[in-house]
C-alpha cells in the first residue's frame, strides 16, 4: 500500500478497493477513533489504526472532484460571499 499526493490539495492519499470493487481515496494518516461505549454520559473512544477516512471528506479541493458540491459553490457565488 503506497501513498501518493492528491491532485487537488497535495496531501498523501491511499487508493484502495472496497468490497464492491470500487476505488476509494483515503487519507494516509488521518487519525481515526472508534467509539467503544458510553460511560457516565461521556463517549469512550479507542484509536483504530486500521480504519481510514475518505479523502473526499477532508480534501480542501474536494469541490474539484465532486459534482454534488457545484450547486453549493454557485449559491455562494450568487450571494457574493467570499
Ligand atoms: Zn485532496
pLDDT for residue 48: 92
33-79 pLDDT, tens digit each:
999 999 999 999 999 988 999 999 999 998 887 665 444 444 444 44
Global confidence as pTM: 0.64
pLDDT for residue 67: 62
> Between residues 9 and 64, which one has the greater pLDDT?
9
Instruction: State mean pLDDT over 8-25.
Output: 95
Residue 48 contacts residue 34 (beta carbons within 8 Å): yes
State the distance from the centre of ligand 1 to the C-alpha of 25, rounded, in angstroms. 9
Q: Which residue stretches of 1-82 are H helix? A: 70-79
State the distance from the centre of ligand 1 to the C-alpha of 41, rounded, in angstroms. 36
State the distance from the centre of ligand 1 to the C-alpha of 48, rounded, in angstroms. 22
Does residue 9 surpass a pLDDT of 60? yes
State the distance from the centre of ligand 1 to the C-alpha of 46, rounded, in angstroms. 26
State the distance from the centre of ligand 1 to the C-alpha of 6, rounded, in angstroms. 5
Give the domain ranges of the chain: 3-79
Amino acid at each position: 500500500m503506497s501513498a501518493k499526493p492528491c491532485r487537488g490539495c497535495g496531501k498523501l492519499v491511499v487508493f484502495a478497493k472496497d468490497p464492491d470493487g470500487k476505488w476509494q481515496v483515503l487519507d494516509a494518516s488521518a487519525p481515526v477513533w472508534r467509539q467503544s461505549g458510553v460511560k457516565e454520559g461521556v463517549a469512550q473512544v479507542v484509536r483504530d489504526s486500521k480504519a481510514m477516512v475518505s479523502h473526499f471528506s477532508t480534501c480542501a479541493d474536494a469541490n474539484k472532484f465532486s459534482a454534488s458540491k457545484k450547486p453549493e459553490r454557485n449559491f455562494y457565488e450568487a450571494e457574493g460571499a467570499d
